[in-house]
Structure 1
C-alpha cells in the first residue's frame, strides 16, 4: 500500500503545471506578484505556512470573502479529506471528520477528535462550534494529530480560528444583505485607536431568515439560521517589552437541522421544496407541550428548536525576556448554555423493511423527542515560552497547561406510541467535570540552513468525574428504585451468563499519557521543503451518558493514535505555482465507535459507545495553486483515503459489562443469516441466533464489517477567480468553486432500506417484507450517500480602492442534495441552494 501511495504522490506532483490554486492563501501584493506568503501559528509561533512541516490549509479573511465562506461549516468543502456537517437537529454544532476521525455526539461526556480553537483557546464542546466568521484574520486547519502542541482531543486534527486584531487607524466596514428564504444580514466592524499604544475593535453581526423547510403538520417554516454576535477586541503595547491582546465574544445561535425531505411525506407527489412532518411545534409552554407526561424543570416548556449562547473571553499577555525569549500567559474562559427540543423520528416511526414508508402521524409530542437544558463552562491557563538557543542552533516552544471544565446537562427522552401514549424513557441531570494538567516541549535542531530535526513531547494528567441524578418523582421519595438513573445504581447486574457477578460502573476516570512528535525537514532552497514526521495523539474517554437505564451508562476508554506523514511543499516559477503534497498513515488503537441501536420492545433508540475496534487510514493529499497573471487565480485540492476497521485478535466474546465483542457479534449475525432470518424481521424461534446482531455496531446487514463512516475515497475541490479591471479604478471579480466527494456511508452499521421485497424463514403471515436491507432495489433511506458535486459562485463589483463592494453569490447553486448523516434509518440532507445579495462599505 505504501508503494501505491508513493506512486500516487509522484503522479499528483505532475499537476504542478496545471492551472490550479490551493484555497488557502491571501492575495499577493502588486510589488511582489505571484502567490502571497501567509503566516500561521501551527507550531505555536509565527511561521510562513510553506516552512511548517505539517499538512495545513490556511484561509485568509480575503480568501474566505472571495469564496463566500461565512462560517466554519463551509470550510469543509475546501480541505482535503475533511467532511464537515451539521449534527442531526442542531444547526449550531458541526461534526468534523478529518482523515476519518470524527464524532456526531454532543453530550458532555464525549469529546470531539477534531479540536476547535479561538485565539489559542480550546472549545471543549462541539455544541456551538459552527462559528460565524464575522471578525476573523484567518482560519488554519491542521490535518493529523496535534497532541504535542495542542494537546488532548486532536487525534484527527485542529481547526484554529484567529480573530482580527485592532488596527492603528480609525477604520472599519458595514455590510447589509438579503437572500433566499427571506434571509437578512448585517455585519460591521470598526477599529478605534485610543492612543499610540492602545486600540480596541468593536464588531458584530445579525442574521435572520424564515427557514428553508415547511412543516406540513403545523404549517411552520423551519430550519432557519438565526443568530447574532458582538465582539470587543483589545490590543495594547504596555511597554517596549510587553504586549496584550484580548477579546470578548458573545454569540447567540438559533440554527436548526431538523429532519426534512425533498418530497412531502404526507403527499409524495409534492416535491417542490423541503418538507418536515413532525407534530411538535415551535411554540412551547406553559402549559408544557408534553403534558400529561411529567417532564421536570424549565425544559418541560421547550418547543421545537434550539438556542445556544456562548461567551468567550481570551487574553494573551506577552513579555520579551532577554533578546531571544518570549513568555506568553494565555488565559481563556468559555461559557455555553444550550436549550433544545428535537423530534428525531419526525412524528412517526423510522423506516424499516416492514414499513419502508411510514405514514405521517403528526404526534404533538413528537415521535422520539429529546429535550435538553445544558450549562457548560471551562477555564484554561497556559504558560508558554518561545525562544532560541546557541545562536540559532535550537528553536523551542514549551510550556504548562491547565483546563478545568464543568458541565450540567438536564435532559429527558420521550417516545410516542400513539396520540395518547407517550413513554418517558428518562429524565435526569448529568454533572461531569474534567481537570487536566499538561507540560510540553518541542525543539528544532537546526543542523544547517537546509536540514532540521524536530522532537517534542507532551505529558497529560487528566481526571474526569461523573454524577447522575434522576428527576422523576418516584426516584426522589424515600426509596430509590433500581431503575432510577443515579450514581447509587450505576452497575451492570449479574445475568448468570455474560456477567456472573454485579459489575460496578466507575464514576471516575484517570489517564496519564505521553504524546511525542518527531520530524525531519530538508529545505534545499527557499522554494522547496521536504518533510517527514511521526506524531502521537489521544482522545479522552467518557461515559454513555444518554443511557435510559443505569446499566447502560458504561464507560469507554481513551482513543490513541500514531500518525506518519511525508510531504513536499513548493513555490515554483517565481511563486506563480504552489504545490503541496502529503502522504500519511494513521494507526488508531481503541477507536471510540458510537452505535445507535433500536430497542426491540419499545422501538426507542439506545445509544452506546465502546472501544469496539482499531482503525487504519492511508491516504494522499494535494493542494495546488496557480497564478498565471496578476488577478487570475486557479486552485485545485485532492484528497484520497483508504481506511478500514481492525478487529483485536484476542478479544473475549463479551467484556466485563457483558457487551458482546465485534467478533462474537459477527458470528451471531452470520448464524442468523444462515438460518434464513432477515435483519429487521421477527426474532423467533428464540433458540436461533438473534438477528439483532446484524445491522448494529460495525456489523452490516450482510454480516460483514462495515465501511468506516464519512471517509469517501476521493474528495476534490477546485475553482477560479479573476479580478478584471473596468477602468477608473473599478474592478469586477467573478468566482466559481466546485467540491466533490465520492460515495460514502454515514451510519456506523451502513444500514439502508431498499424498495424491493425480500423473503426469509420467519415471515409474517401476510407474506414477505416489502423492503430489504441488502442493497437490492431503489434506495429509500439510511446510510448510503452517493457521489455529489456542489458548486458555489459569486460576482463582486468593487469601487476604486474597494471603498464599497456590491456582490451576489450562491451556495449549492445547482440545488444538489445528498445524505450527510442518518439516524434510525432516516437520512439527513444538506442545505438547499441559497443566494445572497450584499452591499459593503469600507471607511
Structure 2
C-alpha cells in the first residue's frame, strides 16, 4: 500500500463517518460486565480499560487485541511473550542472552536493549502500573484476568515510551467466596511446574487472594564441551491480592508480587559446534559455564565486585506493590489514587560469542576454542527502583453529553548498573593458559535517574446517540541524569588500567565524557512536550466505524554500552504520529466478530540500536537517532463461534515500512558523528573503488554494513517488520456426559525479515580485495548463507502449537500440550554475525483441580 493510497483511505473513512453522522440515529445499549464471556452463545464480551475506564472492547475506537482468561488458556499462553504470536504486526522475542526480558516490535517500533539508559517503546503495565525496565517483563501469567495489547502510540492516556503501543496485564481480583485451583505438571527437559490460587473472604466487605507458581527444568541447550546444559527456565512467584469495599462509594484494591526468574537465552546452534554431524537438539560450546567465575589464575579477578564471581546465567528478582483507591462522587464521577512501587535486581554473566572469536569475512566459522571466560562476556549487577503516583478522575457531564478522563501522573526511577566487558583474544600456543587472553574492555558503574510529571485529559463528546468525537492531550515534563564511574585501578591524570589490559586508557568517568570532536557530552537531558489525540467514531447498527490521529514520544538516553568515554553519546527522544481508520463489528447475531484497522505511522528521530565489530575484533554498540521512519499497514482480526463449543480465530497483519533520511544534513552532527546521508555517499564511493564491506585491514569499505547502511550501500531494511504476519486456530468443546473433551490448535506465520540493523549476513563465496587479500566470505550476498554464522536474515516460518484437555464436572482436568510442535527453527535476533534462534519444541502434561 503506497503512502498516497493510505492517506486517501484515511481521508475517505473520515469523510464517510461525517456523512453517516447526518443519518437518523437511535440509542444503542452498551455492553457491561466483567472480562468473562457474558453471552451463552456467540463471541463473548471482554471489558477493557484502554481508555482508562471500563468499556466493551468493541466500543473502543482503538486498535486492541484483548485476551481474557478463557482465551489465554484456549491458546496455551503461559507467559507474556507468547501473546505476541496472536497479535497482528507484533513480533516478540527474548533479548539476546536474557530469558527474563521481552522485547516487542509493534508496527516496526521496538528496542532490544535492557540497560537502564534505554527505554522500551512498547510500554508494559501491570494493574495500571508502568514497568519501565525490560529486565523482568516476561511475566508468567499465573494469576491473570486479561491481557490487552494496544497497537499504535498511546501518548495521551498512557504517556511516555509508548510510540509503538502498550501491553497491559490485569490481575484477578479476590473473590467473595472461598475458591481457587491447584495445578501440577511435568514436561520436556525434565520440567516440573506448579500453580495454585485461593480466594479467602475475611469479612463481608474484605477479601484476599493468595497465588503462586514455580517451574524448574534442566535447560534445552547441551554443552558437550563442558558436559553441561543451559537455557533453563526456572523461577517462582507469589502474589497477595487484596480487595476491600470500604463503604458504598469507596473501594480499595492492593497487590504485592514477588517473582524470581533464572532464565537465559544463551547463543545456541541447531548442530553441535564440537561435532557438526550431530544436529539432534540445541548446542553451545562455550568454556564459560554456570559453575565458572571471572577470576584468572594469572591476573586474579578480571572484574571488580561480586560480578567477578558470576557464572554463566541470568537471574532477576522483582518486587511489585500496587494500590488503587477508588472514591465514587455522586452517580457520574470517580477518583482513583493509583500508587506503584517496583524494585528489580538483576545479575547475569553471558557469553555472546560461544567461547570463541566472532564470525567475520576473514574467519566466517571461528573454530571451537572453549575460552574459560567466554569469547565476549558481559557481567552485570543491576538494581532498578521506580515509584509512580497517579490521580485519575472519570465522569460525565450534561446528562452524558461529554465523558471525561483526566488526571496527573508522577514517575521517578533510580538505576544503578555495575557491569564489565571481557573479550578473549587467541594469542596462539604462546599465549597464557587456557589458550586465550581475557582482555578487559571496560568495568564501570552507571547511575541514572528519570523524573517525569504529566497532566492529561480526554473528552468524548457524544454529539448523537451514534456519533462521538474525541479530543485529548497530555503534557509531560521529564528530566534524566547520567553519571558513570570507572572501576579500574587509577593511575592518575585521568588514566585507568587493569592487569589484563594493554596499556592505560582514559578512565570512563563523568568528568571525562568528551566526544571525538572535543564536545563535552551532557549528563542531563530534559524534555517537555504535548502529545494530543483526536478521534471520531460512529455506531452503525452492529458496526463501529472510527478514525483517529495520535501522537506519542519515547525518552532519549545515552549509549551506555560504549567502552570508551567518546562512545557514550546521548541520543534524543523519538516522536510518532499515528493515523488510523477502521471498523469493529459483531455480526450474525454475535456469531462473528470482525475488526479491521488501517494505519499510517510517521516517526521522527527513530532510535535505532546497532552493533559493529571494531578493528581489534571486539564488539561495539551504538544507538543514534539515525533516521525518520514510516510504516503503512493493515490489521485484521476475526473471531467466530459458528456452533456451540467451537471457537475459531484468525488474524492478519500487513506492513510496508522504510527509513527516511535528510539528504541535505550536515556531514557531521554536533558530536562529530557522520550523518547517514554522508555515510551512504562514502559507502558508495568505497564500493566503486573496489573496497569490500565488513572485512579487516586496508580493503575494508568502512562506511558500509554499519548503522542503517547495508553492505551494498542502500538503506537497510527496518528490523523485525515482516511484511505479513498470520495467525489462526481454534478449540472445540465436546460434551461427553460428566466430561468435556477439548482439542485445541493454533499456528502463526511471518514472512521474511531482517533482525539486524545493518543487514549483515555472511555468505560463502570468497572475495578478493584491492590489496590482493582473499577473504573466504562476504556480506554482499554472493553465494549461500554460512551456517551457523548466518547473520541477520530471518526466513519465513510457521510455529504450530496444540493440545488436548479432558475436564470433569467435579473440577478436575488434565491437559497435554506442545509448543512449537514441529520444532521449527527461526532466527529471532542477531549479534555480531551470530544468529539467535527461537526456543525448540517443548511439551507438558498438567493436572488441575478447581474448587
**Could you state the TM-score of these two structures normalised by the residue count of structure 2?**
0.93
1:285 is displaced (CA, Å) by 4.8
Cross-structure match for 2:611: 596
1:649-660 mapped onto 2 (5 Å cutoff): 649-660=663-674
Residue 573 of structure 2 corresponds to residue 558 of structure 1: yes
1:741 aligns with 2:757: no
Deviation string for 1:647-677 (max 9, x for gaps)? 0233111111111111111111111111111
Structure 1 residues 783-824: Cα deviation after superposition (integer angstroms, max 9, x where no partner): 0100001100010001016x0110100000000001000000
8 Å Cα contact 1:354-1:680 kept in structure 2? no
**1:247-396 equivalence runs, <5 A:** 247-285=255-293, 291-396=299-404
Q: Could you tell me which of 551, 571, 574 is aligned with 1:536?
A: 551
Displacement of 1:439 after TM fit? 0.2
SS in 1 for 2:308: helix
CA distance in structure 2 between the aligned counterparts of 1:363 and 1:146, rounded to whole angstroms: 46
Q: How far does residue 721 in structure 1 lie from its aligned partner after superposition?
A: 0.8
Cα distance in 2 between the residues matched to 1:3 and 1:150: 30
Report the Cα distance in structure 2 between the residues aligned to 1:450 and 1:191, rounded to whole angstroms: 41
Name the counterpart of 2:661.
647
1:89 aligns with 2:97: yes
Cα pair 2:213 2:237 within 8 Å, conserved: yes
Which residues in structure 2 correspond to 1:490-509 (within 5 Å)? 490-493=513-516, 499=517, 502-509=518-525
Quick check: 2:295–2:301 contact (8 Å CA) kept in 1?
A: no
Match of 1:12 in 2: none
| In 1: Cα distance, 2:298 partner to 2:604 partner | 43
The corresponding residue for 2:692 is: 678
1:760 and 1:284 map into 2 onto residues whose CA distance is 41
In structure 2, distance between residues paired with 1:702 and 1:286:
40
* 8 Å Cα contact 1:289-1:300 kept in structure 2: no
- Cα offset, 1:64, TM superposition: 0.7
- Paired position in structure 1 for 2:775: 769
Classify 1:6/1:662 alpha carbon distance in 2 versus 1 (closer, same or farther; 3 Å).
closer
1:793 to 802, 827, 833: 802
TM-fit CA distance, 1:292: 2.9
Structure 2 residue matching 1:92: 3-state secondary structure: strand
Q: Counterpart of 1:496?
A: none
1:779 aligned onto 2:796: no
**SS of aligned partner of 1:402:** strand
Which residue does the alignment assign to 1:14?
none
CA contact (8 A) 2:763 2:781 kept: yes
Name the SS of the counterpart of 1:752 in structure 2: coil
- DSSP-derived class of the 1:91 partner: strand
Structure 1 residues 630, 478: closer, same or farther in 2, change over 3 A?
closer
The answer on whether the counterparts of 1:723 and 1:734 sit within 8 Å (CA) in structure 2 is yes
Q: Within 2, Cα distance between the matches of 1:828 and 1:751?
A: 14
Contact 2:638 2:651 in 1 (8 A): yes
Shift of residue 776, structure 1, vs aligned partner: 2.5
Match in the other structure for 2:431: none
TM superposition shift of 1:760: 3.5
2:86 pairs with 1:60: no
How far apart are residue 284 of structure 1 and its match?
A: 4.1
Match of 2:765 in 1: 756
SS of match in other structure, 1:435: strand
* 8 A contact 1:244–1:315 mirrored in 2: yes
Render the CA deviation track for 1:231-269: whole Å, top value 9, x for unaligned. 000000001110001100000011110000000112111
Distance 2:230 2:181 in 1: 32
The CA deviation at 1:351 is 1.6
Q: What is the CA–CA distance in structure 1 between the aligned matches of 2:386 and 2:656, rounded to whole Å?
A: 37
Alpha-carbon contact 1:92-1:308 (below 8 Å) kept:
yes
For this pair of structures, how many residues does the alignment match? Answer: 810
* Aligned position for 2:487: 471
> 8 Å contact 1:676–1:762 — kept in the other structure?
no
Residues 150, 290 of structure 1: alpha-carbon distance in 2 compared, 3 angstrom cutoff:
farther
| Worse-superposed segment, 778-787 or 707-716 | 778-787
Work out whether residues 446 and 453 of structure 1, in 8 Å CA contact, stay in contact via their aligned partners in 2.
yes
Match of 1:634 among 648, 671, 686: 648
Q: Secondary structure at the match of 2:677?
A: helix
| 1:751 Cα deviation from its structure 2 partner | 0.6
Instruction: Check 1:770–1:42 CA distance in 2 against 1; reply closer, same or farther (3 A cut).
Output: same
Deviation string, structure 1 residues 594-633 (Cα, Å, up to 9, x no partner)? 1112111x21111111111000000000000111111011
Partner of 2:106: 98
C-alpha change, 1:425 and 1:507, in structure 2 (3 Å) is same
Residues 1:621 and 1:474: Cα distance change in structure 2 (over 3 Å) = same
How far off is 1:291 after superposition? 4.9
Q: Is the 8 A contact 1:26 1:59 kept in 2?
A: no
- Residue 166 of structure 1, aligned match among 166, 174, 179: 174
Residue among 404, 417, 423 paired with 1:409: 417
How much is the aligned-residue C-alpha RMSD, in angstroms? 1.8
Q: Which residue matches 2:506?
A: 483
Structure 1 residue 692: Cα displacement:
1.6
Matched, 1:421 2:447: no
SS in 2 for 1:611: strand
With over 3 angstroms needed to count, the CA separation of the structure-2 counterparts of 1:290 and 1:644, relative to structure 1, is: farther
Give the C-alpha shift of residue 283 in structure 1. 1.1
Q: Deviations over 1:2-37 (max 9, x none)?
A: 57559999xxxxxxxxxxxxxxx97745x6311111
Distance in 2 (alpha carbons) for counterparts of 1:537 and 1:745: 25
Verify the 8 A CA contact 2:6 2:600 in the aligned structure 1.
Answer: no
- Indicate conservation of the 8 Å contact 1:89/1:256, yes or no: yes
Kindly state the Cα deviation for residue 121 of structure 1 after the two structures are TM-superposed. Answer: 0.3
- 1:180–1:482 distance in 2 versus 1, CA, 3 Å: closer
- Tell me what 2:499 maps to: none
- For 1:422 and 1:587, how far apart are their aligned partners in 2? 45
Describe the shift of the 1:27–1:150 C-alpha distance in structure 2 as closer, same or farther (beyond 3 A).
Answer: closer
Secondary structure of 1:77's counterpart equals helix
Gaps of 5+ in 1: 10-24, 494-498
Question: Per the alignment, do residues 236 and 187 of structure 1 end up closer, same or farther by CA in structure 2, a change over 3 Å counting?
Answer: same
Give 3-state SS (helix, strand or coil) of 1:622's partner. Answer: strand
> Counterparts of 1:385 and 1:227 in 2: how far apart (Å)?
38
What is the aligned partner in structure 2 of residue 16 from structure 1?
A: none
**Partner of residue 13, structure 1:** none
Deviation at 1:775, TM superposition (A): 1.8
Q: Which residues of structure 2 form unaligned runs of 5+?
A: 11-33, 427-434, 497-503
Q: Structure 1 pair 820/432, CA: closer, same or farther in 2 (3 Å)?
A: same
Instruction: Answer with 285-294 or 730-739: which moved more.
Output: 285-294
> Whole-Å Cα distance in 1 between the matches of residues 298 and 92 of structure 2?
33
